[in-house]
Structures are given as C-alpha cells and as structure tokens.
Copies of this chain bind each other. A is one copy, B any other.
Amino acid sequence: MARSTFVGLVQDRAPDRACSDGGRDGHRSCDRGRASRRARLAAGRHARRAEDAGADRDIPRCNDETDQFEFSVHKQPQLNNAREHAWRERLKPYYTEFGIDPAAPVPSSNRTPFDVALCAAVEEIKPEVVSFHYGLPEAALLKRVKDAGCVVISSATTVAEARWLEANSCDVLIAQGYEAGGHRGMFLTDNLATQVGTFALVPQIVDVVKLPVIAAGGVTDARGIAAALALGASGAQLGTAYLFCPESKILAPHRAALKAARDDGTVLTNVMTGRPARGFINRVMRELGPINDIAPEFPLAAGALAPLHAKAQAQGTGDFSSMWAGQAASLGRELPARELTAKLADEAQALMRRMAV
C-alpha cells in the first residue's frame, strides 16, 4: 500500500510521537480562531501508516483524534525497457564500486497508486481524513471516499492546480511551495521552472478558492506558522521540523544531514524516484542530477538505487538515500514531538500577539 505520511495536530493537542520518515511527513498547526471546521478537522488528525491499515487497526493513537491516511494517485508507470536499461547502465559503476552484481534483479517499487482495494480499506476503516498526492483519484473512487464520510485533502503547487482540486470536490487544499521537502505534488504541470515559492503561492491560492488552505514549504518554526497565517492560510503544515524529533524513524545519515542543514543544502531532484522531490544533496544527486532525463518514470527510478542505498546506508552514508527536507531545515529543533508541538503553538501565539503592538 502507499505510505501515509501526515501527522496532524491542532495547537492545543500535541501528538506524543512523530511518525515521520520523509520530508512530506507533516505536522499541521492550525489557527483555531480562523479555520473553518473542515480545516480544523483536516489539521487536527494524527495519521497512521496506510501500509498498516488493513493489517492492524489497533495502532496506538497519539491522541483522541481520528486517523488520517495518505495515498499517492500517480499514474502507474509503463515499464520502458530501454530507459530502465540506460538507467542501470548509468548506475553500473556504483554497483561495481560496492561489489554488487549489476545484473542482479532489483526490487520493484511498492508505491501502488490508490485503487479499488485501497478504497475498500478506506470504506471499512472510515478515517476522518484522507489525503492524496499528485491530484485526486478517479471520480468513482473519490465519491466512495467522500461517501464514507472522509474529508479529502490534496496538494496544489500552482493556482491552476488549486482551482482544479476545488472544482473536483477536494475539501481542503495544501498550498505546497517551492521550499517544501519531499515530492512535489504537481500534477497539471511538469515544469519546475515555474514552480512557486510559498510566500507567493499561499495568498494567490487563498484569493481564488473558497476551500481552507494549509500552507506548506519552509514552515519550520513559530515564525513560519505566524507568517503562513498572515498570508491568509487557515493552517500550516510542518514536515521537516518533525524529522528532528527523537521519535522520527529517519536513518542516521538523514539525521546527521538535518543537524548540519544549511539554507542552500537541498535541491529538487528526480534521480531518486523519477519525480521531482526536494532533499539534502547527496552523491548520486550531485553526480547524476539534480535533474536527469534518463531517470525512469516515477517510481521506477528508485528500484535500481535500492541496492546502492542499502550498501551505502550500511556504511553510514546517505550517498544513495532519499533524505527529504525543506529549505528551512536548519530551523529545526530536536525535541520530542509533543513538546515541540506545544512550544510551536505557544511561540506562534505569542509572536502574533507581539506583532499587534
């Protein structure tokens, strides 16, 4: 099943753990006074992994809020043998370097797009919130999700995508700015040159949709939360901030990269998975990317990288690992998730009070 990545919260309800393993894993802090009920619902839920959803319905909850599941709705890729071959040829020197047989089969991706089976699981579990990345599922499946009573969230990277999501029955929008860590949710465009910074994106989306808008991308501390609300967002989604938490399941090189984070230490790359995503610059991104047309279609590129990731990772490096992070990673603090959440809420409220003086 597709992984679920969101961790949500409202200001006065802190989850006691972070489920984060990547830049898109997110906590949301929501402005209670201004958000609509739906935004508050969307922002007030704590996710559990969709992978676990069918197998285990007794996952400990972080608070008394209902679950949120996240699914990818990417188009299933067509296997292109020539492109796959070119990609493996390009990676061959690395295989040789690590003593891996370049002819050995590589794992295929487990990133299944949302489908009938997953939809049936949603209907059974009835999570309060279901979020999608790369648009929305086909209308019939979306209707089933909504008929199950779920609030539907998806990400927009442009005003055009925001309009499309609103026109296609999305309930809450995430405005995902250029600074955001992890995969860009872009689905109506593949032009990275016209992707929009959070500062410019949020108010322009807020102005043209009626739906609640959650700001994402570069929001790591209380200043970011206050700024997101100033720009007109109903809430803010923090991803990278929670990767710092001791509860976060990221691997050691990723954690080390977070501690050494710089403003200019990330790029948008397609070489890790085949779709553009923002992460800390590693060796393969530096040597083959950040953008390279030979990377197979998402998520196939990740397959041939997996053995290299495993070997390099075992040696303590993230040279071949996705280490997603946003551009404001350096503002993160290593605090337990609950404590971080409480601090962020207090600090954001205090800051907003000071701004009125």
Contact = CB atoms under 8 A, between A and B. Distances in A.
Contact of A204 (B268, B328, B351, B352): B328
Given A263-B158, A355-B356, A227 B199 contact: yes
A262 B224 contact: no
A266 B194 contact: yes
Q: How many protomers of this protein does the assembly include?
A: 2
A221 B263 CA distance: 25
B326 A159 contact: no
A64 interface: no
A336 interface: no
The CB with the most chain B CB atoms within 10 A, among A33, A327, A330, is that of: A327
Contact of A197 (B33, B197, B205, B230): B197
A331 interface: yes
B217 A199 contact: yes
A198 to B, nearest CB: 4
A223 B218 contact: no
Nearest to A203: B223
Contact of A327 (B196, B267, B356): B196
Contacts of A327: 196-197, 200-201
A284 interface: no
Given A160-B264, A179-B199, A328-B203, A290 B193 contact: yes
A31 to B, nearest CB: 9
Interface residues of A, number: 56
Contacts of A356: 352-353, 355-356
A204 B355 contact: no
Contact of A268 (B193, B198, B203, B205): B193
A207 interface: yes
A207 B261 CA distance: 14
Contacts of A59: none
Contacts of A353: 356
A95 interface: no
A200 B263 contact: yes
Contacts of A177: 197, 199
Contacts of A113: none
A218 B189 contact: no
Interface in A82-121: none
A326 B263 CA distance: 21
Contacts of A197: 177-179, 197-199, 217-218, 327
25 contacts: A160-B264, A177-B197, A177-B199, A179-B196, A179-B197, A189-B264, A193-B267, A194-B265, A194-B266, A194-B267, A194-B281, A196-B264, A197-B199, A197-B217, A197-B327, A198-B200, A200-B328, A203-B223, A204-B328, A204-B331, A223-B230, A230-B230, A230-B351, A230-B352, A352-B356
What 5 pairs between A and B have smallest CB-CB spacing? A356-B356, A200-B327, A199-B218, A200-B218, A197-B197
